[in-house]
Amino acid sequence: MFSVKPLIGAAAALASTTAFAADMPQYPPPPPQPQPQMTYQAMPMVVQQPMGAWYLRGDIGIGIASTADFVFEPNPLNGPVDILSQHAAMGDSVFFDAGVGYEFNNWLRFDVTGEYRTKNNVNAYLTYNYNGTAVDTYQGFLQSTIFLANAYVDLGTWNCLTPFVGVGVGGAYNTFAGLADVGVPTAGSGVGRNSSQLNFAWALHAGLAYNVTQNFSVELAYRYLNFGSVTDAIDCYGGCNPDSYKLQNLTSQDFMIGMRWRFPIESAPMLVQQAPVMAQPAPVYTQPAPVYAQPAPVYTQPAPVYTQPAPVYTQPPPVYAPQPQYPLSTRG
């Protein structure tokens, strides 16, 4: 005989499991992942950066001399002289220079130059009190050789044009020569000794360079030059105590055209930041923080399961009854 009690027990166990699953904690869904945005990102690039280069230079220019200070220095043996006025003018000169230099990088360079300046004509006169007003006139020339050590700062390059500024220090070897003195009222005269003197010199530079090629540049430049002073003495015809005449505060406004020839440039790789370019950043995925929750304990009483033991059917062993013994026939 089939029993339904096993089915009832299975249904009760399934119902208990379903109720327990319904009581399990429910975790919230993960937050939405951020979407990558388009951004501008500067990409670095390795380029060859000039480290330095030797160069040769040469210039030609014109020097516009400022008004010279022509100072009369009388000989004390001649006694005091009542000077009324004195004046001097200098002519312009042409100069040539050559030099060698070194570019440390693309904005700083140094060079040394030697410069020859043609003669500056000097004209002066002196008025003094000598039984009335007397005048002496003077003519001569100044010739100078300049040596400078210069430093320049290049201010950037646009369309091959590079403005620059600089400063120079060095020396000037000045010669005051051909000096002649003519006394108007006295008809006296004299000649100079062609004296030379070494002085401190300094300069200020400003200009514009044009890069014709990587190794060849031309320059248009201005220079303010201060090159010291020089003194000469005049010996009179017929003999006299020589007086001295000094050209001092010698300055010149120089305008020049020059060129520079670079030797092959040393270079080294350098990381340079390029202009910003459009780039797609790598998406960033973040893991939401785990949520730990302790589910409330669920106590369930399992439904009682009643089971009916299966009936046991047993077959009793057969019983054999003794058969009655019938008497043998007595018939003979």
Helices (H) and strands (E) in the chain, counts: 1, 15
Enter the pTM of the model.
0.63
Amino acid at 298: V
Residue 110 has a pLDDT of 97
List CB contacts of 3: < 8 A, sequence separation 6 or more.
307, 308, 310
Residue 79 has a pLDDT of 75
Residue 20 has a pLDDT of 47
Residues 230, 211 contacting (CB under 8 angstroms): no
Instruction: Give the residues of the chain that fall short of pLDDT 70.
Output: 1-51, 67, 185-187, 265-300, 302-332
List CB contacts of 127: < 8 A, sequence separation 6 or more.
83, 84, 85, 86, 133, 134, 135
CATH architecture classification, 52-264:
Beta Barrel (2.40)
Question: Residue 245 is encoded by which pair of tokens?
Answer: 């005449």
Q: Coil, helix or strand for 167? A: strand
Cα–Cα distance for residue pair 299/310, rounded to 1 Å: 32
Q: Coil, helix or strand for 248? A: strand
* Phi/psi of residue 264, nearest 5 degrees: -50, 135
Q: What is the dihedral of CA 144, 150, 156, 157, to 10 degrees?
A: 50
The burial of 203, by beta-carbon neighbours within 10 Å (0-12 exposed, 13-18 middle, 19 or more buried), is given as buried
List CB contacts of 155: < 8 A, sequence separation 6 or more.
107, 162, 163, 164, 165
Tell the residue number behind the tokens 């043998």, with chain if given: 328
List CB contacts of 175: < 8 A, sequence separation 6 or more.
142, 143, 144, 194, 195, 196, 230
Residues shown for the chain:
332
Tell the residue number behind the tokens 């040469």, with chain if given: 58
Q: Which of 330, 222, 208, 307 is nearest to 7 (CA)?
A: 307
Residues 251, 65 contacting (CB under 8 angstroms): yes
